[in-house]
Amino acid sequence: MKLIPNWKDTWRFYSTWMAAAITAFPFAWQNLPDDIKTYVPEDAEPYIMAGMFVALLIGRVIDQP
């Protein structure tokens, strides 16, 4: 296993931010008050997660300065 040359800059990558959001989403969702959760349809969670994953993939291929 070998690190990428600019591993110290990974905190700035869009894909790193989306991976963190995907990781944090279930925990944040669990701690939201029930009255806020009622605004989101019950079957929307998989679509939200899928959308975040697609954003992760897009963020991975975008050239970032």
Global confidence as pTM:
0.71
Tens digits of per-residue pLDDT, 6-33?
A: 889 888 888 899 999 999 998 999 999 9
Let me know: does 64 contact 14? Beta carbons within 8 Å: yes
Distance CA 27, CA 36 (A): 15
The whole-angstrom separation of Cα 56 and Cα 17 is: 8
In this prediction, residue 65 carries a pLDDT of 73
Q: What are 14's two structure tokens? A: 């869009």
